[in-house]
Amino acid sequence: MAPFLSGGGYSSEAWSYVLALDEYMKSRENPSFKLGIHQHGDLESLEFWEGLPQNVRDLAIELHRTDCRINETIVVCHSEPGAWYPPLFETLPCPPTGYHDFLFVIGRTMFETDRLNSEHVKRCNRMASVWVPTEFHVSTFVQSGVDPSKVMKVVQPIDVRFFDPSKYEPLDIASEGNLVLGAKAPNSSPGKEFVFLSVFKWEFRKGWDVLLEAYLKEFSKDDGVALYLLTNPYHSSRDFNNKIVQFVEDSDMQKPANGWAPVYVIDTHIAHIDLPRLYKAANAFVLPSRGEGWGRPVVEAMAMSLPVITTNWSGPTEYLTEENSYPLPVERKSEVTEGPFKGHLWAEPSVIKLQALMRHVISNVEEARAKGRQARKDMINSFSPEIVAEIVTGYITSTNY
C-alpha cells in the first residue's frame, strides 16, 4: 500500500520496488509470494498516471486485482507514518483494518532531519518491522526511540535499464524552459552552453536558495552556462518566476557588469517516460538539499551518467563517494523553523564550496564525465532492481511470523 498515483517521492520509490519484484518473480519457476497493490497515503494525480508507460499502467491494473487472504498477507505500509492506522489525515488507512488481522505488517518510511517526533516513534513501534533506506536512517530512528530489533535497512532500487543514457536523445530543454533571469552569452550557439540541471519540489528544504546564490555569485552571462530548474509547487503557488526575482532583489548579490547568468524554470509536467531525455540534455546535476530521505532525482541522474553535486548528509550518504560524485560539504546544522519538523536539525550546505564545485565541474569536463560513468556503474552494481528484489524477497521469505 503506497501513493502509487501521486507522483511524489514515496510514489516513485514504491513503483521501483513493485517493478523490481514483479520482474524478479516472473523470472522464477515457483515464486514464493504474489504481489498486490493499493493506493494509499497521498492524493492521486491524473497527470502522473497518464505519464506512466503503458506497460506500467497495465501492470497496476493487474496487481490491483490480486486477491489476498487477510491472514496470509504481509502488508507493507509505504508512506509517512501519519498515514498508518489510524491515519492522522484522510486516506485509506494502512493496514486497512488494524495490525492484528494480517500475517505481518511492515512500515516503509524515512525522514529528512536528524530525528523523529514522538508520534512517529510510537507508530513505528506498532509495526512488526520498519524498513528504512540508509544507515543514516537506522541511526536516527534508533536514537529517536524506535525498537532497534525492528529497524532494517532496505536500499531503494533504481531502474538502470530505463535510466540508461545510451537509449535516449536529449530533450529539447530550451523549448521546455522559461527564462526568468539573465540572458545567454552573446556568442553562445544554441545547445552549446554548459547546462546545470536541478529537479525538486519548491520547498526550503531543497536548498533552492543555496543553489541560486552559489550559481549567480559564481557565474555571469559570459561564462556560457545555464541553470535549469524542474520544479513544482509544494504547499505554495506556482509563481516561481516572481519568487526567484524577489529572492535576488532581497539579497545582497551584486549583478555582474556583463549581466546575470541565465536561469530557466520548467514548471510544466514532464512525463515519466521523458525524464531520461531531460537528464540527457544536461551536463551536470546539482541539488544542495538540506536533507533527503533518499534523493530520487540524484540517483536517476547518476544512473544517466551525469556528474552530480549534492549535499553530503542524510540519505545520499548511502551512495555518494569521492569517485562517483562531488559531495557538497555541510557548513553547519540549522534548526527547522516551521512545519511538522520544527525544532529538528538539518544541514546547511556551504554556498562557497558549491560555487567552487560548480566552477570545478565546468573547468574539468573529462574528470566530471569519468565520475558520471563511475556513478552509473555503482548504481548498476549496488542498486539495480535485481539486487534489491533479492534483498526484499530474502527479508520477506525469512521473516519469523
What does each of the 401 residues of the chain score in pLDDT, given as a tens digit? 999 999 888 999 999 999 999 999 999 888 889 999 999 998 888 888 998 889 999 999 999 999 989 999 999 999 999 999 999 999 999 999 999 999 999 999 999 999 999 999 999 999 999 999 999 999 999 999 999 999 999 999 999 999 999 999 999 999 999 999 998 766 666 568 999 999 999 999 999 999 999 999 999 999 999 999 999 876 666 789 999 999 999 999 999 999 999 999 999 889 889 999 999 999 999 999 999 999 999 999 999 999 999 999 999 999 999 999 999 999 999 999 998 899 999 999 999 999 999 999 999 999 999 999 999 999 999 999 999 999 999 998 886 65
In order, the DSSP letters of 306-347 are --EEEESSSGGGGT--TTTSEEEPEEEEEE--SSTTTT-EEE
Domain at 368, CATH number? 3.40.50.2000
Same-domain pairing of 141 and 14: yes
Based on the fold, state whether residues 131 and 203 are members of the same structural domain. Answer: no
The verdict on 232 and 196 lying in the same domain is: yes
Grid cell 486477491 in the structure block, residue: 67
Residue 64's contacts (CB-CB under 8 Å, 6 or more residues apart) are 36, 37, 38
Q: How far is CA 31 from the centre of its chain?
A: 30
CB distance 112 to 205 below 8 Å: yes
Give me the DSSP letters along 56-83. HHHHHHHHHT----GGGPEEEEES-GGG
Identify whether residues 70 and 46 lie together within a single domain. Answer: yes
What are the DSSP calls for 285-296, one per residue?
EEE--S--SS-H
Tell me which amino acid residue 397 is. Answer: T
| pTM of model > 0.85 | yes
- CATH number of the domain at 27, please: 3.40.50
The rounded distance, in Å, linking the Cα atoms of 49 and 34 is: 23
Residue 358 makes CB contacts below 8 A (sequence gap 6+) with 196, 214, 215, 218, 219, 284, 286, 309
What domain range is 389 assigned to? 9-157+385-398
Give the C-alpha separation, 375 to 304, whole Å. 8
The answer to whether residues 225 and 107 belong to one domain is no
Distance CA 36, CA 18 (A): 9
Give me the count of residues in the chain.
401
